[in-house]
Amino acid sequence: MAQIRIDNLRKDFGDFTAVKSSSFTIEDGEFFMLLGPSGCGKTTTLRMMAGLELPTSGEIYIDGEEVGGRRASQRDIAFVFQMFALYPHMNVRRNIGYPLRSQGASRADTRRKVEEIARLLGITDILDSPVGGLSGGDRQRVALGRAIVREPKAFFMDEPLGALDAEFREHMAEELRALHDRMGATTIYVTHDQLEAMQMGDKIVVMNHGMVEQFGVPQDLYDWPATLFVAGFLGSPPMNVLFFNGTVAEGAETLTLGGQEIAVPVTREGAKGNVALGIRPEHVHLDTEAGYRAKVIATEYLGTTQIVTLRTEHGDIKARIPSHQKVTEGETTGLRFDARKITLFNADTSQALRSAGNEGVLSLG
Amino acid sequence: MSDFSVIAASKTQKWVAGILVVAYAVITLLPLLWIIATGFKSPSDAIAYPPKVLFEPTLEGYVNLFTTRTRQTAEYLAAHPPQTWYEEIVRKYDMVIAGPSRFGGRFMNSVIIGFVSTFLSVFLGTLAAYAFSRFRIPLKDDLMFFILSTRMMPPIAVAIPIFLMFRALGLSDTHAGMILLYTAVNLSLAVWLLKGFIDEIPREYEEAALIDGYTRFQAFYKVVLPQAATGIASTAIFCLIFAWNEYAFAVLLTSGTAQTAPPFIPTIIGVGGQDWPAVAAGATIFLLPVVVFTILLRKHLLRGITFGAVRK
């Protein structure tokens, strides 16, 4: 059980910088998600934390101890790989017992411990099978077993569900989360799947181009993205972003968009020039009376809700509305935005402007 | 398989394929069978024309291969009756066995030089291949190309410089010299083959081992090596076959103490010229170690010689 903190971590591979500067803290017992598109540096960050790569600069603390230069084996962590990395020349029992044997545990202790873990994971019946013939889910369970058996300070998982079928992934995600809740061990989990991250994580750090974009609990990230990247990466469909040229005054409660007054959370900082307005699809409402006009160009039926694509003078926008609401393609209607849920961005820096809505969230990370 | 399957072979196709395979095997094996048969012929049968397919087998060739003989007078032969079956065989020619031939020593030279150089090539090759596969090495591609480039000419093209170097260093006609030479020639092949095999082993296995508490070397030894066994075995076979069969350098650089079997076998002289049965017997025995080695490693070989073209 451990608190893990990384400070200004950087990794260069020759001329290429995989991680520019990463800093965040993982509290003891948290299920922590490292989220980002491929090549964003999330796996490299995890590998540095695990001791599989040496950082170019920066510090890694596990329980207050700087471990950046230590061997992986001295950090007392366990790693679950995407491809499971079960030793193919050993059976399930030996795979799970391997970390214990390598630490010099006795044969009897190893056996007892392996069987205990197998019961926990429900794989007692396959203990003596070779790993070659196992299904994806069972391999994943064996890989987890190998990680759990040593009772490490923390679990590091690199897209552990990435190699599973979509249908099974859901099930394993629940199993993983339940296992974490039972064991309470700090877990760091790398994924590129924003749904997985929001579904499982206590906290999420979003990375892009080797930089931490935002760090916080899933709901804060979803509601109050700190950057345009986070706004576009989280949510399906993602946050709508309307770019416009204008002025936002500090302390303002409205702004002018396409000649219409739009109410926004009270701004704490102003911007001039390229500004962007971000609003989640579920906070866009169709209202024929509203002044901001848009034309319906497509609808997508999703059961309880429908996604309506509308063309405005500032670009296309998607609205998530109840499916019983009647919408006809080609009609022109008005849009009303939920004033409490709008985020404004400085489009030049991509950073969110501070407002009464997000100031609590932005001050965290 | 249905009768109309597009991919499954029809009965006729299977028959044709079978016949072709058998024909190819016969063509390939015929010289080999000829050699083995000749080893059991008498010298006159061996050079008979038309060649004898059916003949009375004799171990004369093998006896001649392993012994030196001298002609004796009738009185001497009468006074010393043959003690063993092989003495009996040479009595036909009024000879007695004077002692062992040099074949045994030459054969042992082949075994020592062949297996030691194979071991060294594979051992050094595995370490180098692992480093090339896993570590960031400056100028890696250039180094790999340089290693390969040593194979771009026939080795015999450098025979004269090597001959002069060996003479200057006192390596001529020594076991160490021949082992060094064959290891040097085989090492480039070994590095390239093994790098391919090790590249195929996912790094995660070692990383898992590193996290599980092993050092980098232990991870290599306990996790990578068992999985590279196939590659190592097939590389070893290739290296052994080269070192075992090598003739040109062996003729050039060895004459006595370190002479291997290939340059020795053709020089076996019998009564009144080349002793073909003895030569054939020598060739047959010479074949055995590679055959045994290959059979021992054969389960690795099929996957090995496809060079990783087939995924597990």
The residue among B175, B184, B284 whose CA lies nearest residue B242 is B184
Task: Determine what percent of chain B falls in helix, strand and coil, rounding each to the nearest 5.
Answer: 70, 5, 25
| Residue range(s) defining the domain that contains residue B95 | 43-101
Q: Residue A71: its chain B contacts at CB < 8 A?
A: 210, 215
Inter-residue contact A182 to A121 (CB < 8 Å): no
What per-residue confidence (pLDDT) applies to A257? 86
The residue among A231, A208, A191, A213 whose CA lies nearest residue A341 is A231
Among the ranges given (A21-35, A288-302, B209-223), the one the predictor scored with the smallest mean pLDDT: B209-223
- Give the list of residues 6+ apart from residue A92 with CB closer than 8 angstroms, or none: A118, A123, A126, A127, A128, A129, A130, A131, A134, A142
Claim to verify: residue B212 and residue B283 sit in the same structural domain: yes
Interface test with A, best of B134, B207, B212, B303 (most A CBs within 10 A): B212
What per-residue confidence (pLDDT) applies to B180? 95
Q: Residue B226: its chain A contacts at CB < 8 A?
A: 89
- Label the pairing between strands A57-62 and A254-257: unpaired
Helix (H, G, I), strand (E, B) or coil at A72: helix
Q: Is A150–B212 a contact, with Cβ atoms under 8 angstroms apart?
A: yes
Q: Is A78–B215 a contact, with Cβ atoms under 8 angstroms apart?
A: no
DSSP string for residues in A167-213: HHHHHHHHHHHHHHHHH--EEEEEES-HHHHHHH-SEEEEEETTEEE
Inter-residue contact A108 to A132 (CB < 8 Å): no
Instruction: Please report where in the chains the tokens 């059976």 appear, as a residue.
Output: A91
Q: Is A73–B226 a contact, with Cβ atoms under 8 angstroms apart?
A: no
Q: Residue A82: its chain B contacts at CB < 8 A?
A: 204
Ordered per-residue pLDDT tens for chain B, 312 residues: 445 667 777 888 899 999 999 999 999 999 999 999 999 998 888 888 888 888 889 998 899 899 888 888 888 888 888 888 888 888 888 888 888 989 999 999 999 999 999 999 999 999 999 999 998 888 999 999 998 888 888 877 888 999 999 999 999 999 999 999 999 999 999 999 999 999 988 888 888 888 888 888 888 988 889 888 888 998 999 999 999 999 989 999 998 889 999 999 888 876 667 888 999 999 999 999 988 988 888 777 665 555 444 343
Claim to verify: residue B95 and residue B210 sit in the same structural domain: no
User: A315: which strand partners?
Assistant: A312
Q: Token pair of A258, please?
A: 């396409």
Q: Is B211–A83 a contact, with Cβ atoms under 8 angstroms apart?
A: no
Residue A350 has pLDDT above 80, yes or no: yes
Q: Which of A79, A89, A103 sits opposite B208 (nearest CB)?
A: A79
Q: What is the pLDDT of residues A42-89, one digit of tens each?
A: 999 999 999 888 899 999 999 888 988 888 888 888 888 888 888 888
Q: Which band of pLDDT confidence, cut at 50, 70 and 90, is reported for residue A255? A: confident
Residue A345 has pLDDT above 60, yes or no: yes
- Mean residue pLDDT of chain A comes to 89
Q: Residue B210: its chain A contacts at CB < 8 A?
A: 51-52, 71-73
| Domains defined along chain A, listed by start | 4-223 (3.40.50.300), 237-357 (2.40.50.140)
**Final residue in a domain of this structure, among B83, B101, B119:** B101
**Final residue in a domain of this structure, among B52, B78, B101:** B101
Helix (H, G, I), strand (E, B) or coil at B133: helix
| Closest A-chain CA to B225 | A89
- As a whole number of angstroms, the distance between CA A268 and CA B292 comes to 84
Q: Is A85–B214 a contact, with Cβ atoms under 8 angstroms apart?
A: no
Inter-residue contact A101 to A149 (CB < 8 Å): no
Highest mean pLDDT among A139-148, A177-186, A312-321: A312-321
Inter-residue contact A49 to A59 (CB < 8 Å): no
What is the domain count for chain B?
A: 2
The residue among A281, A257, A279 whose CA lies nearest residue A345 is A279
What per-residue confidence (pLDDT) applies to A259? 84
Claim to verify: residue B166 and residue B248 sit in the same structural domain: yes
| Closest B-chain CA to A49 | B211
Claim to verify: residue B65 and residue B189 sit in the same structural domain: no
Give, in degrees to the nearest 5, the angle at Cα B72 between B66 and B78: 110
- As a whole number of angstroms, the distance between CA B97 and CA B65 comes to 12
B198 found inside a domain: yes
B81 found inside a domain: yes
For residues A191-216, give the mean pLDDT: 91
- As a whole number of angstroms, the distance between CA A213 and CA A345 comes to 14
Claim to verify: residue B91 and residue B192 sit in the same structural domain: no
Claim to verify: residue B292 and residue B186 sit in the same structural domain: yes
Q: What is the pLDDT of residues A86-118, one digit of tens each?
A: 888 888 999 899 888 888 888 898 999 999 888
For residues A277-306, give the mean pLDDT: 92
Q: Residue B201: its chain A contacts at CB < 8 A?
A: none
Instruction: Please report where in the chains the tokens 């590998």 appear, as a residue.
Output: A47
The overall pTM is greater than 0.90: no
Claim to verify: residue B119 and residue B177 sit in the same structural domain: yes
% of chain A residues with pLDDT over 70 = 99
What's the gap in Å between the CA of A53 and the closest CA on chain B?
10
Claim to verify: residue B214 and residue B87 sit in the same structural domain: no
Q: Residue B136: its chain A contacts at CB < 8 A?
A: 13-14
Claim to verify: residue B72 and residue B178 sit in the same structural domain: no
DSSP state of A125: G
Claim to verify: residue B156 and residue B281 sit in the same structural domain: yes
